[in-house]
Structure 1
Amino acid sequence: MTLPLIAPMLATPGRLPPVAQDTRWAYETKQDGQRAVVYLAGGGSVVLRARSGEDITAAYPELLPLGDALGGTPAVLDGEILALDEQGRADFQLLQSRMGLVQAPGRAARLAATAPVHLVLFDVLHLGGRSLLRSPYLRRRSRLEELALAGPCWSTPGALVGHGREALEATRAHGLEGLVCKRLDSAYEPGVRSRAWIKIRNMRVADVLVGGWLPGKGRLTGLPGALLVGQRSGTGLRYVGGVGTGWSEAERTELAALLRAAATDACPFDSVPRSADARWVVPRLVGEVRYSTRTRAGLLRQPSWLRLRPDLTPEESAADLPDISP
């Protein structure tokens, strides 16, 4: 049968619901992967579409057997495609090697055999020829669990009703990306970033040394557009990324003066970042940044500036740099 194309519902960044409303919400682990709407036409076929609507089926051939999981029952499901590390945790960097293989089915098949992805299913939008979009989340979730979709490369993790604070602490304790809070009575709103779904991202904090900066453009001309930061390792100062957000206008102006005073012609990092516009400084400014995770090479993902740390010397900073092979 012909299935309706459905844009995924999106969550709004926020905080845990008030304690008095805790039992009106379900809590699911926030996954660090590629969102996918799954179309099962009921004849053994499966089509995966990204958030943009692009057909990404060819990039993930290991998920094709899912087409037979419901027999002849047509369905549209919502989920997230993950690449898992040795500890079973989602690793977005691993997934990136698969995301661009829609036009390279041969390479996708080889990677599927050696490092298969895993599809986490968390909603059902259409089932047996009937739309479930107006059904409340609790009803949709019940129907999804009744389908018992569990296979070699897909699963339906449970959702916890109530106990939001404990759920959030558990994601932090296990190094997971965060939590998604979903109101039990909420309908599915295609393509809408809704307050009925709230996402909470676990963020980490690190001390860094400023080793350079990139000039701003437009209204930021003459000011830093981004800071190039590093952390000390056994061999010197290891570059860990560029930070381009988190300042007020006054803070950016203050940083500009400090950077000019520390200017040098020599790059202070062990390896020179790839940027023709980089300006180097003596690494004596210590800052504190917030970030989500690190890449396998140790770079900070989604970093944002928190504050200068004049209370720390360069020698006292960056004590949390992990052991990363060059």
Structure 2
Amino acid sequence: MLATPGPLPSAAVEDRWAFEVKQDGQRAMIYLPGDGTVLLRARSGTDITSAYPELLPLAQALGARSAVLDGEIVALDEQGRSDFERLQQRMGLAGAPARAARLAARVPVHLALFDVVHLDGRPVTGVPYAERRELLEGLGLAGPGWSTPAAITGHGAQAWEMAKDAGLEGLIAKRLTSRYEPGARSKAWVKIKVHRLADVVIGGWIPGRGRLTGLPGAVLVGERREGLLHYAGRVGTGWSHTERTHLARLLQAAANDTCPFTQVPPVAGARWVLPQLVGEVRYTSRTHAGRLRHPSWHRLRPDLTPDDLG
């Protein structure tokens, strides 16, 4: 079951929803047949069990009871927050168990469990979320590499402020009466991302294709530090057609043969511009290299010049 992007439920109805921290990791279904084994499958259905050897002891956690659980595999940073960039070191190693074992010692993962879809030989997908949550918490699944993070009923605004202040990716709101819908992107689960804002300078662009032919498909942006423009990522969403057309005219007028960034970004087909256009972008977090994650365009900032940014 997948969540639909949306706004925070209003205060008038928030007591009908539970709020969980949005984890930034690899979604997994966990199969515990009760025979001392465990099977982890990714969203694609791929068996990823051998990629995460530190989760194998979970096979003993329920004894002879059987269950199918839903959760997210994460790698935590020094502040205990999920860090997808860190997790990427561990992904894709299902066919390399020896390397997975070595990395497990250096970059351990944690399994955050948030739902149960099958228990003691019977499906519970038709049971309301609130009851499934009670079943899950009743299993007492807390171990060295797994846990059942808290869910808060109501108090959405407070949960949102806590997530934002803690630098978390956001929240998942789940309707208390909702059933589990396998494979569906349901409006009964709403993901609300924490978006941050950054002022950036456009240093280049990538031509669009198809209906965007002749228009920018994405812009390459940077941030000014000590008078230099450091590449911060590519932004390809957030414009209306009118805004994209207006931006195209500005980019063409600023065309330049020289890359303005301190290092040339590894982007094929880039076209460079004079670093004079300032914009504001939304983003969720940053990579260790300082790149913006999930950036989207917010607006041009004609009131600012690159010199205003540092």
Fold-level similarity (TM above 0.5): yes
Residues 225-279 of structure 1 deviation map (CA, whole Å, 9 limit, x = unaligned)? 1101000123611000111111112211211111121111111101101123111
Match status 1:172 vs 2:164:
yes
Distance 2:65 2:268 in 1: 56
User: In the TM superposition, what are the counterparts of 1:68-83 in structure 2 within 5 Å?
Assistant: 68-83=60-75
What is the match of residue 96 of structure 1?
A: 88
Q: Give the alignment of 1:127-146 within 5 angstroms.
A: 127-146=119-138
Equivalent position to 1:315, from 288, 307, 310: 307
Bigger mean CA offset, 29-38 vs 233-242: 233-242
TM-score by length of 1: 0.93
Seq. identity, %:
66
Rounded to whole Å, the distance in 2 between the matches of 1:304 and 1:118 is 29
**How much has 1:218 moved relative to structure 2?**
2.1
Structure 1 residue 223 and structure 2 residue 245: aligned?
A: no
Q: Are 2:220 and 2:231, in contact at CA under 8 Å, matched by a contact in 1? A: yes
CA distance in 1, matches of 2:215, 2:149: 47
Structure-1 residue corresponding to 2:237: 245
The correspondence for 2:9, drawn from 3, 14, 17, is 17
TM-score (norm 2): 0.97
Query: 5+ unaligned residues in a row in structure 2: which ranges?
Result: none
Provide the rounded CA distance (Å) in 1 between the counterparts of 2:176 and 2:212. 45
Distance 1:217 1:138 in 2: 46
Task: Give the CA deviation at 1:159.
Answer: 0.9
Contact 2:86–2:107 (Cα < 8 Å) also in 1:
no
Say what the alpha-carbon RMSD is for the aligned residues: 1.1
Q: Distance in 1 between matches of 2:292 and 2:146?
A: 29
Distance of 2:287 and 2:293 partners within structure 1:
7
Which residues of 2 match residues 247-262 of structure 1 at below 5 A?
247-262=239-254
Task: Give the 3-state SS of the residue equivalent to 2:90 in structure 1.
Answer: helix
Are residues 1:47 and 2:23 paired? no
Report the AA paired with residue 80 of structure 2: G
Of 60-69 and 213-222, more deviation after overlay is shown by 213-222
**What amino acid does structure 2 have at the position aligned with 1:256?**
A
Is the Cα contact below 8 Å between 1:235 and 1:270 reproduced in 2? no
The DSSP-based 3-state class of the residue aligned with 1:207 is strand
Match of 2:181 in 1: 189
Which residue in the other structure is 1:31 paired with?
Answer: 23
Residue 290 of structure 1: how far off its partner (Å): 0.8
Match of 1:303 among 285, 292, 295: 295
Q: Distance in 1 between matches of 2:190 and 2:243?
A: 31
2:178 counterpart of 1:209? no
Q: 158-167 vs 226-235, which deviates more?
A: 226-235
CA–CA separation in structure 2 for the residues paired with 1:276 and 1:150: 46
Secondary structure at 2:293's aligned position in 1?
coil
Q: Distance in 2 between matches of 1:209 and 1:117?
A: 36
1:3 aligns to what?
none
Q: Tell me the distance in 2 between the aligned counterparts of 1:192 and 1:218.
A: 29
Choose which of 258, 266, 274 in structure 2 pairs with 1:274: 266
Q: Is the 8 A contact 1:14 1:200 kept in 2?
A: yes
Separation of aligned partners in 2, 1:20 and 1:228: 42
Name the SS for the 1:232 alignment partner: strand
Equivalent residue for 1:118?
110
Which amino acid is 1:272 matched to?
V
Give the C-alpha shift of residue 221 in structure 1: 2.0
4+ residue segments displaced more than 6 Å: none
Determine helix, strand or coil for the equivalent of 1:97. coil
**Structure 2 CA distance for aligned equivalents of residues 81 and 123 of structure 1:** 13
Unaligned runs of 5+ in 1: 1-8, 320-326
Structure 2 SS opposite 1:119: strand
Using the TM superposition, give the Cα deviation of residue 43 of structure 1 relative to its aligned residue in structure 2, in angstroms.
1.1
- 1:150 match: 142
The offset of 1:138, in angstroms, is 1.1
1:34-68: CA deviation from partner (whole Å, max 9, x where unpaired): 11110001111110111111111111111000000
Q: C-alpha distance in 1, partners of 2:44/2:230?
A: 36
